[in-house]
Amino acid sequence: MKILLFILFIQTAFASNLDSIRDVIKDPAVSKRCKALIKDRNEKIQTHQRLSALLKRNKKLLSNARLSQKVASKRLEITKLSIENNLRLTKFRIKAMEENIVRKGCPGIAL
């Protein structure tokens, strides 16, 4: 019984060593592809943050617009709709990129 437990312990220790060796040895093509995918995702996230800031700024301007500024209010409404649409599309694109990164099997990705 003790021998069996010892053998199981050795196997688990050996398997964990193999996993650490596999993490150290990486295919350069996979690393470059994963870096490119992650870079594209980070750029899209920055775009999302910029659009969110623009939307917040637009809402503030819209709330401060006077009733006499009808043309400005209409333009701000149109701009608000455009920003919201772009923001929605950016969210979908980020989600698709994250799914693509996971599907490609990039190691050590934290989403």
Considering only residues 83 and 11, tell me which one the structure prediction assigns the higher pLDDT: 83
Residues 59/80, Cβ–Cβ less than 8 Å: yes
pLDDT above 70 for 49: yes
Q: pLDDT value at position 2?
A: 59
* Distance of alpha carbon 81 from alpha carbon 79, whole angstroms: 5
pLDDT tier for residue 44 given thresholds of 50, 70 and 90: very high
What is the value of pTM for the model shown?
0.66
Give Cα 43 to chain centroid, integer Å: 9
Q: pLDDT value at position 31?
A: 78
Mean pLDDT of the chain: 80
Q: pLDDT value at position 68?
A: 82
Q: pLDDT value at position 108?
A: 60
* Distance of alpha carbon 57 from alpha carbon 72, whole angstroms: 14
Q: Domain boundaries in the chain?
A: 2-104
* Distance of alpha carbon 41 from alpha carbon 94, whole angstroms: 6
